[in-house]
Structure 1
Amino acid sequence: MSAENDPPLADAMRRIEDAFVEGGEGRVRAEPSQDAIRAAEALLFAGGEPISAKDLGAKLGPAVDVAAVLMKLKADYAERGVQLVETGAGWRFQSAPDLAGLFTETREAPKRLPKAAMETLAVIAYHQPVTRAEIEEIRGVSLSRGSMELLLEIGWIRPRGRRRTPGRPLTFGTTDVFLGQFGLASLDALPGKDDLKSLGLLDPRAASVIDVPRPSEDLESDEEPLSEGDDAASFFVDHMEEGE
Structure 2
Amino acid sequence: MSSNETLKQIIEAALLAAGRPLSLDQLQALFEKEDEPEKKSLREILAELTEDYLGRGIEIREVGNGFRIQVRSEFSPWVSKLWDERPPKYSRALLETLALIAYRQPITRGEIEDIRGVSVSTNIVKTLTEREWVRVVGHRDVPGKPALYATTKEFLDYFNLKGLSELPTLAEIRDLDSINRELELKDPDKLDEEPTESEQTPDEVMDAQPVVETDQLEENEIPEDESGQKSEHSTVSETQDTSVDAEKDELEADQIDQAETGRLYE
User: Do the two structures share a fold, i.e. TM-score over 0.5?
Assistant: yes
The residue aligned with 2:62 is: 86
Alpha-carbon shift at residue 44 of structure 1 (Å): 1.1
Amino acid at match of 1:132: R
Check if 1:43 corresponds to 2:14.
yes
Report the equivalent of 1:98.
Answer: 74
Bigger radius of gyration, 1 or 2? 2
Task: Tell whether the 8 Å contact from 2:106 to 2:137 is kept in structure 1 after alignment.
Answer: yes
Please, which runs of 5 or more residues in structure 1 have no aligned partner? 1-31, 206-244
Quickly say closer, same or farther: Cα 1:119–1:197, change in 2 above 3 A. Answer: closer
Q: Deviations over 1:114-165 (max 9, x none)?
A: 1111111111111111111111112121111122122222222122222233
Aligned residues: percent identity? 36
SS of the residue 1:126 aligns to: helix
Uncovered stretches (5+) of structure 2, i.e. residues with no partner: 31-35, 183-266
Q: What is aligned with 2:122?
A: 145
Q: Which moved more, 1:165-174 or 1:121-130?
A: 165-174
Other structure's SS at 2:145 match: coil
Q: In the alignment, what sits opposite 1:171?
A: 148
Q: Deviations over 1:65-89 (max 9, x none)?
A: 1211111111111221221111111
Any idea what the Cα deviations from partners look like across 1:191-225, whole Å, max 9, x if unmatched? 013432499988999xxxxxxxxxxxxxxxxxxxx
Deviation string, structure 1 residues 82-129 (Cα, Å, up to 9, x no partner): 211111111000112121122232232122211111111111111111
Does the residue aligned with 2:149 lie in a helix, a strand or coil?
strand
Contact 1:197 1:204 in 2 (8 A): no
- Conservation of the 8 A alpha-carbon contact between 1:81 and 1:99: yes
Contact 1:50 1:92 in 2 (8 A): yes
Distance (Å, rounded) in 2 between the aligned partners of 1:116 and 1:63: 42
Q: Which runs of 4+ in 1 moved over 4 A?
A: 197-205
Whether the aligned pair in 2 keeps the contact of 1:163 and 1:171 (CA below 8 Å) is: yes
Residue in structure 1 matched with residue 44 of structure 2 by the alignment? 68
CA contact (8 A) 1:78 1:84 kept: no
- Structure 1 residues 186 and 45 mapped into 2: Cα distance closer, same or farther (>3 Å)? same
Larger displacement relative to structure 2 (173-182 or 50-59): 50-59
Match of 1:182 among 129, 146, 159: 159
Among 11, 14, 26, the residue aligned to 1:55 = 26
Query: What is the letter of the counterpart of residue 44 of structure 1?
Result: L
For the 8 Å contact 1:155–1:177, the answer to whether it is kept is yes
- Alpha-carbon RMSD: 2.7
Aligned with 1:155: secondary structure? Answer: coil
Task: Encode CA deviations 1:40-70: one digit per residue, 9 max, x unaligned.
Answer: 1122112222101233244442386121111
Normalization by structure 2: what TM-score?
Answer: 0.58
Alpha carbons 2:24, 2:39 under 8 Å: kept: no
Q: 1:117 to 1:81 in 2, by over 3 A?
A: same
Does 171-180 or 196-205 show the bigger shift? 196-205
Secondary structure of the structure 2 residue equivalent to 1:160: strand
Across the two proteins, how many residue pairs are aligned to each other?
Answer: 174
TM norm structure 1: 0.63
Of the two structures, which has the highest relative contact order with CA contacts closer than 8 Å and spacing of 6 or more? 1
